[in-house]
Structure formats: structure tokens, C-alpha cells
Amino acid sequence: MPFESFGIPTPVALGAVAVLGYLFGRRRHLQTTELNQARRELKRARAVIRELEAISQHVRSSLTHHESSIVTFKERLASLARSDDGAAWQQLCDEAERILRPTQKLSNEIAQAYDEIRQQTHLLMSFTEVRTDPLTGVSNRRALDETLNNLLAMRTRYDTTFAIIIVDIDHFKQVNDKQGHLFGDDVLRSVAHHLDDCVRETDLVARFGGEEFVMVLPQTEFDGASILAERMRVRIEQKMRVTISGGVASIQDGDTPGSLLARADSALYSAKSAGRNRVFRHDGQRIEPVTGTTLADLEPEAEVLATLTPIVAAAKQATSDLAPKQPATKTTSHPA
């Protein structure tokens, strides 16, 4: 045997070759994972840079417009100063009031732009810190918590909106038990990859723990998040040998990160209880299914109510005007 000619027993030599092959394969896998992660972070960085450019252009445009208003006001002031007419000074006061209103608006815009720049800068800083799940390459729980806190602060100040989606891999424990944990790790990475491909560059995909993932969707309404969640579920079902269940919730007044996550988690629990491979959503009052619902069915109630509300109100007013006035009677209230 060739190995024996070097004084190495064949089993030992084969074992060494196997170890070297494993280490080389693992190194290549780690390099691929790091490359995918770097591409994802570069994609997000480009999105942040575009956001910063848009903010700076908006502020620059507002400043240019404001500067022209100030020049006009200055010329008007010089003209009025040469006049002794009292009405001219009244006009001056009116001009000052008109120039003050856009000044206040511009001040608010600059304050908002500062907050947005600070948020985008925070995202850029996060690229160099430990905010990435080492297994899947998506964001981790720390990045999720900080993103939710930032979006809540923006909502408090500027009344912005956002939504979240929680998904869970169905029967993942059985996958680990039957196929092994290495195969389970591959499933987690593949699911994370598909979820990340479904969202926008400015959205966040984070591993929430175990086989759960959370998507944070800035500037996304409740119905839009519901449609995206169902699209994710269908993609995983078509592309992989596993399925996912999902829960959707959108931010509401008085919410905390915990209460928002709790609503989405309740919707996820309902999807699991209904048989898995489904998406449910929680609107703050009730939990309802999204899977099996068409796009046209997602917003029927709001449109119908918007149409009927003025008609019903007019009918009630007409009935009230025609009805004879009744003397007031004393009523007894009942406990709620």
C-alpha cells in the first residue's frame, strides 16, 4: 500500500484524509456564509446611502426655497421702510407673519431630517458591530430590539407606521430528530435566505430564537404586511420541503415592542392551531386568517364602511328631525 511505504497505517492515513477533507469543506462553507453576509450588508448599506441622499436633497430644496422667500422679504422691507404710510407698516407685519410660517415648517423638517439621519447612521454603525446571527447571516435579537425601539420613537414623534411578521418553521423538531441537527441548520439558513429575498432593502429580517424569524417592515400598512406574509409562506412551500406558519401585527397607539410582538405571536399561535402552513393576523381586536384570502378581500370592510357611513348618518339625522320630541326619562345604568 502507498501509505504503508511511509510507515503510516492505512486506517490512520484514511482518517487523516477524512479530517483534512472535513476541515477544508468547513472552511469553504464558512467563506461562502461570510460572502453572503457581506453581500447582504452591502445591499443594506447602499439602501441607507440612498435614504441619506434623499434626505439631504429634500433639506437642500427646502433651504433654497426659504432663502428666496427671505430675499423677497428683505426687498419688501427696504421698500416699505421708505414709506411713512401706516398701512405700509401693517403690510410689513403681514409679510413677517407669512415668512414666519414657512420658517417654522422648515425648522420642523430639519429636526425630522436630523432624526432620520441619526437613525440611518445607527444602521450604518450596526454593520460593524455584533448584530448578526452567526448561523443564518440575518440580524439577531439585539438588532431587532434596537430597530423596534427606533421605529417606535419615530412613530411617537412623526406618527409613522410599520408592521411586523413572525414566522415559525412547522414541525422543525421532527426535522432535527429525523435528519439531524446539521440538516436542520441548513434548513434554517435556507429559510432565512428566502425570507430575506422577499423583503425590501430597508426591511429587517431577524432570527427571533430557535426556528422563529421576525420581519420588521417600516412604512408598511397592515394589509401590505399580510400580503407579504402570505407571499413568503407560498414561496417556502414551493421552494423547500418544509412549511412555515406566520402571524402579522401592525403598530398601534400605546404599543411597546413587547405588546406588538405579543399580538403577532398570538396570531402565529392561531395559525399553528388551525393546522400550520397558514398565516393569521391580529388587528388589536380579533385574529383572522390571511391564507386563502384574496387581495381584494383584504380591504372590503374599510371601503364599505367609508361608503355607507355618510349615508347612514344622513338617514339618522333625517329620522331624528322627523320624529316627535319625547320628554326625557330617567334611565338606570347597568354595570359593564
**269/276 Cα distance (integer angstroms):** 9
What is the tens place of the pLDDT at every residue in 269-321? 999 999 999 999 999 999 999 987 655 555 444 343 344 434 444 444 444 44
- At the top level of CATH, the class of 133-297 is alpha beta
In this structure, the number of other CB atoms found within 10 A of the CB of residue 23 comes to 10
- The domain ranges of the chain are 1-129, 133-297
Give start and end residues of each alpha helix (H) in the chain: 10-81, 86-126, 141-158, 172-179, 181-198, 222-239, 257-273, 300-322
Chain CA centroid to CA 256, Å: 15
Residue in 56, 48, 51 with CA at minimum distance from that of residue 109: 56
Percent of the chain with pLDDT over 90: 45
What is the tens place of the pLDDT at every residue in 111-161? 676 677 666 666 665 554 578 898 999 999 999 999 999 999 999 989 999
Helix/strand/coil for 205:
strand
Question: What average pLDDT does range 55-70 have in this prediction?
Answer: 69
Question: What average pLDDT does range 73-101 have in this prediction?
Answer: 67
Contacts of 249 (CB under 8 A, 6+ apart): 163, 164, 260, 261, 263, 264, 267, 281, 282
Give yes or no for a contact between 267 and 287, defined as CB atoms under 8 angstroms apart.
yes
Whether 211 is catalytic is yes
At residue 334 the predicted structure's pLDDT band, cuts being 50, 70 and 90, is very low
Residue, of 128 and 38, whose pLDDT is higher: 38
In this prediction, residue 155 carries a pLDDT of: 93
**298/301 Cα distance (integer angstroms):** 8
At residue 57 the predicted structure's pLDDT band, cuts being 50, 70 and 90, is confident
Partners of 248 in beta bridges:
165, 281
The grid cell for 135 is 448561523
Mean pLDDT computed over every residue of the chain: 76
In this structure, the number of other CB atoms found within 10 A of the CB of residue 266 comes to 16
In this prediction, residue 312 carries a pLDDT of: 40
In this prediction, residue 131 carries a pLDDT of: 82
Strand ranges of the sheet holding 204-209, from the earlier edge strand across to the other edge: 204-209, 212-218, 162-169, 244-250, 279-282, 287-289
Chain CA centroid to CA 61, Å: 28
Q: Which residue has the cell 422667500?
A: 69
- Sign of the dihedral through C-alpha 277, 282, 283, 287: positive
Task: Pick the most confident of 33-37, 110-114, 166-170.
Answer: 166-170
Question: Residue 146 class from Cβ within 10 Å (0-12 exposed, 13-18 middle, 19+ buried)?
Answer: middle
Q: Which residue has the cell 423596534?
A: 148
In this prediction, residue 292 carries a pLDDT of: 77
Contacts of 293 (CB under 8 A, 6+ apart): 230
Residue, of 91 and 297, whose pLDDT is higher: 91
Among candidate residues 129, 211, 237, 299, the one labeled active-site is: 211
In this prediction, residue 112 carries a pLDDT of: 72
- Sign of the dihedral through C-alpha 134, 139, 140, 142: positive
In this prediction, residue 336 carries a pLDDT of: 40
At residue 204 the predicted structure's pLDDT band, cuts being 50, 70 and 90, is very high
- Residue 260, pLDDT above cutoff 70: yes
Considering the entire predicted model, what is its pTM? 0.58
At residue 263 the predicted structure's pLDDT band, cuts being 50, 70 and 90, is very high
Left if phi > 0, otherwise alpha if psi is -120 to 50, otherwise beta: which for 275? left
- Residue 82, pLDDT above cutoff 90: no
What is the tens place of the pLDDT at every residue in 3-19? 455 555 555 555 555 55
At residue 186 the predicted structure's pLDDT band, cuts being 50, 70 and 90, is very high
Main-chain dihedrals φ then ψ at residue 259, nearest 5 degrees = -70, -35
Helix/strand/coil for 250:
strand
